[in-house]
Structure 1
Amino acid sequence: MLRVVCTEFGDPEKLTVVEEPDPVPGPGEVLVGVEAAGVSFVDGLIVQGRYQVRPPLPFTPGSAVAGTVLAVGEGVDPARTGTAVVGSVLGFGGYTSHAVLADPVPLPAGVGPVVAASALESYCTLVFAVTRRVAIAPDEWVVVLGAGGGIGLAAVDVARSLGARVLAVASSAEKRAAAVAAGATAAIDYTDLKDGIRAATGGGADVVVDPVGGPAAESALRALRAGGRFCVLGFASGEIPRLPANIVLLRNRTVVGVDWGDWAREVGGAEGQAALLADVVGRIGRGDLHPPHPVTAPLAEAAQVLRRYADRTAVGKYVLVP
């Protein structure tokens, strides 16, 4: 097998690719020949040692993989061999050619491994958000910050699928075009954001989805209508905002934390996460959701891909293809 290894926290350019014997699945596990490994902005933070989770060194980044079951461990139906699956690697380890998974989900017809791996983290986050954390009604205005990135495009797609009108906010024309292609009703940049949101939505947003943080967060919060909901997904800007409580109080606004990863590890557990992932790929298979086809790159280019995320020049999603 081939896998990407991080031996010290720092710039992604320090990552290396090593060759090792193939792993062996244990009881209740399957060995998957990885055909696509999802890459995320968070992966880059982990490699740099800037995330709240710091795995022991050395480690292999990544947690979302899709491919074909090559072998099964004790207690697993041998008929699963040869089936296409998608799943999360426990404790990182996704940037690899072979991965051992405990609870992979079968891929429905028409959903390929490249799309499935690219969609796992971002779409699980958003489907978790709209099924367990916040309600979005048809015709409501949903504002998505960072709408040209992987999590932002997933937010646009999920909100669109619920009948909402989506205002995409992104820093470049290319990213705004990608958001409109994903289903956004309109797109704006960050200039005079509060007034821009109010003008584009005819008075204010019903929901804000914010994976960016920084100064844009407060401007978007102030642009909420009465009863509006502000969803905190992350801080891609590198700056955690201090949201003023008086603005939350005024007009009965709500701030909602959305941490899919914590839920999957704790409350939902393996069974809950498998059900959520099955829901996500089912929605994709039925055509309710339309993840954009990601950009592919070989394992050897993992550092370059993570650098694009770190520099915020990436548009959409990337996957590594062993």
Structure 2
Amino acid sequence: MTMRAYCVTSHDAPPAIERIARPRPGPGQIGIKIHACGLNFADLLMMSGRYQDTPALPFTLGLELSGVVDSLGEGASGPAPGTRVAVYGGQGGLADYGCFDAARAVALPDSLSHEAAAAFQIAYGTSHLALTRRARLQPGETLLVLGAAGGVGLTAVEIGAAMGARVIACARGKDKLEAARAAGAHELIDSETDDIRETCKALGGADVVYDPVGGDQFTAAFRACRPEARILTIGFASGDVPRIPANHLLVKNLTVMGLYWGGYLTFAPELLTRSLAELLTWADEGRIAPRAHHVYPLDQAADALELLRARKSTGKVVVTMA
């Protein structure tokens, strides 16, 4: 039996939909009928072989997905067939079916759609761990979010506001800033027209900076920090990895820290499990509102990835297997 899968067969050629054999779950795995897959900047890096966890060729794109369990491998006690789940698989999400470690599956509340669930794990999980565990954001502190209308940026705005912080959102253009305001931002900075450093300083400076962009925006935010501020490096969507002047860290007692969400799977997976469980509770209670902002069918996966590459998306891009 075959299925559709959006496959990378060469780092020098674009991915394409292929007909491949439907996999069967191995020991400790579950088989899933996939309904939706969330796209991430890492997918673009994987296509060219530039991601730190790029699988061996050939492979199917798609780090995170949602679907319904349809089979269990040897030794897998659940989730039971018929259970709606979300899974971070690291690959394999852009396909009709997939097999994944049972321990990575989280059961979904009825209130969360498959599209929202596919958009949930990496974006919300990254922001939750970054703000709660790494930066230890406190109520009343000022959080500056760069790239605030992107897939992770909007979740940082939403989670920061839910934690009681004053959120300054920095994004490009009126429409993206309005999306950040709707997610809970209290103050807005237009990265196209405003001086990020001076505008943020005029607003009192930042206690915590959430940066998935890098480059010049990192430098501007760095200079707008209050003493003892914490700066979270989440990614480098600008393509520019900034250099950090260590003497400035010393003078202002600043802390710069990294957050790679997927890395916790290798050394502290229980932290991810607890974080996702808390976030699912928040979603079920209405404290946060996960959703897919752009939805494409599988045969338009290339268009969905291009939207991400061109940085024209607002929020999360999701592909469905319909």
Deviation at 1:64, TM superposition (A): 0.5
Q: Measure, in 1, the Cα distance between the counterparts of 2:155 and 2:113.
A: 17
Partner of 1:46: 46
Deviation at 1:10, TM superposition (A): 4.2
Contiguous gaps of at least 5 residues in structure 1: none
Partner of 1:296: 295
Partner of 2:96: 97
Equivalent residues of 2:215, 2:236 under 8 A apart: yes
TM-score normalized by structure 1? 0.93
The one of 174, 177, 195 aligned to 1:192: 195
Partner of 1:206: 207
Equivalent residues of 2:230, 2:256 under 8 A apart: yes
Partner of 1:306: 305
Q: Measure, in 2, the Cα distance between the counterparts of 1:219 and 1:100.
A: 44
User: What residue identity is the alignment partner of 1:182?
Assistant: A
Partner of 1:74: 74
Per-residue CA deviations over 1:138-171 (Å, capped at 9, x if unaligned) read 1211000001100100111110110111111011
Q: Measure, in 1, the Cα distance between the counterparts of 2:255 and 2:140.
A: 19
Deviation at 1:284, TM superposition (A): 1.5
Per-residue CA deviations over 1:225-261 (Å, capped at 9, x if unaligned) read 1111111111000000002112211221111111111
SS in 1 for 2:256: strand
Q: Does 1:55 align with 2:58?
A: no
Q: Measure, in 1, the Cα distance between the counterparts of 2:205 and 2:274.
A: 35
Q: Measure, in 2, the Cα distance between the counterparts of 1:144 and 1:228.
A: 13
Deviation at 1:78, TM superposition (A): 6.7
Q: Measure, in 1, the Cα distance between the counterparts of 2:126 and 2:79.
A: 31
Equivalent residues of 2:115, 2:291 under 8 A apart: no
Highest RCO, 1 vs 2 (Cα 8 Å, sep ≥ 6): 1
Partner of 2:277: 278
Equivalent residues of 2:79, 2:107 under 8 A apart: no
Equivalent residues of 1:120, 1:277 under 8 A apart: yes
Q: Measure, in 1, the Cα distance between the counterparts of 2:41 and 2:171.
A: 16
Map of 1:152-171 to 2, 5 A cutoff?
152-171=153-172
Per-residue CA deviations over 1:149-203 (Å, capped at 9, x if unaligned) read 001001111101101111110112111111111111121112311101112x2x2
Partner of 1:232: 233
Equivalent residues of 2:308, 2:317 under 8 A apart: no
Per-residue CA deviations over 1:65-113 (Å, capped at 9, x if unaligned) read 1111111122334771111011111x51111111112121110231122
Equivalent residues of 2:119, 2:291 under 8 A apart: no
SS in 2 for 1:51: coil
CA RMSD, aligned part only? 1.6
Q: Measure, in 2, the Cα distance between the counterparts of 1:19 and 1:35.
A: 17
SS in 1 for 2:66: strand
Deviation at 1:272, TM superposition (A): 4.2
Which range is displaced more, 148-157 or 103-112? 103-112
Q: Measure, in 2, the Cα distance between the counterparts of 1:137 and 1:10.
A: 46
Q: Measure, in 2, the Cα distance between the counterparts of 1:213 and 1:77.
A: 43
Deviation at 1:137, TM superposition (A): 1.0
Deviation at 1:58, TM superposition (A): 1.3
Partner of 2:314: 315
TM-score normalized by structure 2? 0.93
SS in 2 for 1:81: coil
Q: Measure, in 1, the Cα distance between the counterparts of 2:120 and 2:170.
A: 21
Which range is displaced more, 226-235 or 187-196? 187-196
Q: Measure, in 1, the Cα distance between the counterparts of 2:131 and 2:42.
A: 21
Q: Does 1:149 align with 2:143?
A: no
Identity across matched positions, percent: 38
Partner of 2:7: 5
Contiguous gaps of at least 5 residues in structure 2: none
Q: Does 1:107 align with 2:108?
A: yes
